[in-house]
Amino acid sequence: MTISGNPEITLYNNPLPKGCELCRLGSKLVVFISGECGDSCYYCPVSSERFNKNKMFANEAEVSNLMDYIYEAYRMGALGAGITGGDPILAIDKVTSLIRIFKNEFGEKFHVHLYTSGRYATNDALRELSEVGLDEIRFHPLKVEYREALKKAMKYDMDVGIEIPSIPGEEEKILELIKWAEKEGVKFVNLNELELNERNFFQLNSRGMNVSHGITGVKGSFETAKKVIEEFKESRITVHYCSSVYKDVVETRTRFLRTIRVSAKPYEDFTGEGTLIRAIVRTNQNLDILYGEKIGDNVYSVFPGITDELVKKLDIDELKIVEEHPDSRRLKVSEKVLKSNFEP
Ligand code: SF4
């Protein structure tokens, strides 16, 4: 058996878990169900805005009710969802209701995976999750006691795996955990590149960990994962390394391109980076909205390719080109004002 993937982006020894395969297609909705967690890992990647807060996000957008996840799943043409937190099992009622809604709305094949530390994964919680159709559960057993939860989960009809950060210098600890997992029949182990963020940077820096490549990946994390995967290249258990670059750039970009394919308006153009381009026109004259739509008093959103023609034909007060993310937040990436006589 060989190791597949692109060095420093993603490496794996065996076929990937289904949840990861769908993520690579940009087809997994990211469900952040609540930031509440009973643990406090020094490397925790959850931002201050979310950690220990009872907030929900669908992909990058904050949402207020479970149906918002369904709207976002439609917007991106999702084939599945990954439920994360905090520890989602602390919000078990919301999680089970949401999985039921997903399966009713999109069918049994809509693939749902969930992350948990295992701390609260009782038999009752796992049975409930399995009964509503959870397909895959990923544990982050930061304490040896939490491993019991994996053994319990394997009694139910769902794929059971481990997902942990690849911490530089912790090869021996990771090897021991994977050997244990292989012996117990765990299906896969995902090693995430350790990421530095605004919340954990002090803790990581004080342990001598700094950024290596990309924007957030910690130096030595890839090398640790590579050494570990090499040890398991002939094994049955899947060991898979996923880099921060992959998550931030490839997965997000693929998801954005998918969202554009499914939900962009006919007059919106797009870039290879997965952003949308449109022109905003302000005019008192009547604009043929064949190439756009009216979005306010005397304001139109139109196809950017017709702006030269519009300038020639109409008396325009303001004309600008905007570039935005295609998800529901419509985060503005750039704005180029081509003409402005408008005083707000
Ligand atoms: S278990 Fe997960 S969410 Fe909770 S502190 Fe650790 S890394 Fe953060």
The Å distance, Cα 45 to ligand 1 centre, comes to: 8
| Mean pLDDT along residues 301-317 | 88
- Per the CATH hierarchy, to which homologous superfamily does domain 7-260 belong? Aldolase class I (3.20.20.70)
Beta pairing, strands 188-193 & 238-242: parallel
* Position in ligand 1 atom list of the atom nearest CA 86: 3
What is the structure's pLDDT at 312? 85
Closest residue by Cα to atom 8, ligand 1, is 44
Beta bridge mates, 58: 31, 61
The Å distance, Cα 116 to ligand 1 centre, comes to: 9
State how far the Cα of 341 lies from the Cα of 344, in Å rounded to an integer.
10
Q: Is 336 within 8 Å of 320 (Cβ atoms)?
A: yes
| Mean pLDDT along residues 25-49 | 95
Residue 215, pLDDT > 80, answer: no
Three-state secondary structure call for residue 278: strand
Structure tokens at 302: 């139109």
Closest residue by Cα to atom 7, ligand 1, is 44
Amino acid present at 107: G
The Å distance, Cα 105 to ligand 1 centre, comes to: 30
| Mean pLDDT along residues 203-216 | 82
The Å distance, Cα 140 to ligand 1 centre, comes to: 8
* Position in ligand 1 atom list of the atom nearest CA 165: 7
The Å distance, Cα 205 to ligand 1 centre, comes to: 18
pLDDT, tens digit, 9 for 90 and up, residues 72-127? 999 999 999 999 999 999 999 999 999 999 999 999 999 999 999 999 999 999 99
pLDDT band at 290 (very low <50, low <70, confident <90, very high): low
With both helix axes pointing from N to C terminus, report the angle between 221-231 and 171-184 in degrees, rounded to the nearest 10: 40
CA separation, residue 172 to residues 139, 204, 224, 239 (Å): 19, 20, 10, 15
Q: Is 121 within 8 Å of 152 (Cβ atoms)?
A: yes
Instruction: Name the residue of 34, 41, 162, 192 whose CB sits within 8 Å of the most ligand 1 atoms, as the mutation to test its pocket.
Output: 41
* Closest to 90 (Cα-Cα) out of 61, 53, 62, 64: 53
pLDDT band at 194 (very low <50, low <70, confident <90, very high): very high
Domain boundaries, the chain: 7-260, 267-340
The Å distance, Cα 314 to ligand 1 centre, comes to: 56
What is the structure's pLDDT at 2? 72
| Mean pLDDT along residues 292-299 | 88
State how far the Cα of 138 lies from the Cα of 23, in Å rounded to an integer.
14
Residue 342, pLDDT > 80, answer: no
Structure tokens at 309: 């023609």
* Closest to 157 (Cα-Cα) out of 185, 137, 178: 137
Instruction: Name the residue of 47, 117, 143, 162 whose CB sits within 8 Å of the most ligand 1 atoms, as the mutation to test its pocket.
Output: 117
State how far the Cα of 311 lies from the Cα of 333, in Å rounded to an integer.
24
With pLDDT > 70 as the criterion, what percentage of the chain qualifies? 97
pLDDT band at 343 (very low <50, low <70, confident <90, very high): low
* Position in ligand 1 atom list of the atom nearest CA 119: 1
Q: Is 184 within 8 Å of 162 (Cβ atoms)?
A: no
What is the structure's pLDDT at 111? 98
| Mean pLDDT along residues 8-23 | 89
| Mean pLDDT along residues 121-141 | 98
Pocket of ligand 1 (CB under 6 A): 37, 39-41, 44, 46, 86-87, 117, 140
Closest residue by Cα to atom 5, ligand 1, is 40
* Position in ligand 1 atom list of the atom nearest CA 117: 1
State the burial class of residue 217 (Cβ atoms within 10 Å of its Cβ: 0-12, 13-18, 19+).
buried
Average per-residue pLDDT for the chain: 92
Structure tokens at 291: 């190439």
* Position in ligand 1 atom list of the atom nearest CA 85: 3
Beta bridge mates, 300: 281, 294
Range 171-176, long-range pairs (CB < 8 A, 24+ positions): 171/224, 171/227, 171/228, 174/224, 174/228, 175/228, 175/231
What is the structure's pLDDT at 226? 92
The Å distance, Cα 165 to ligand 1 centre, comes to: 11
Residue 248, pLDDT > 80, answer: no
Looking at per-residue pLDDT, the higher value among 208 and 28 belongs to 28
Between CA 326 and CA 50, with CA 334 as vertex, the angle to 5 degrees is 60
pLDDT band at 214 (very low <50, low <70, confident <90, very high): low
What is the structure's pLDDT at 306? 87
Q: Is 344 within 8 Å of 327 (Cβ atoms)?
A: no
Instruction: Name the residue of 32, 53, 142, 199 whose CB sits within 8 Å of the most ligand 1 atoms, as the mutation to test its pocket.
Output: 142
DSSP state of 195: B
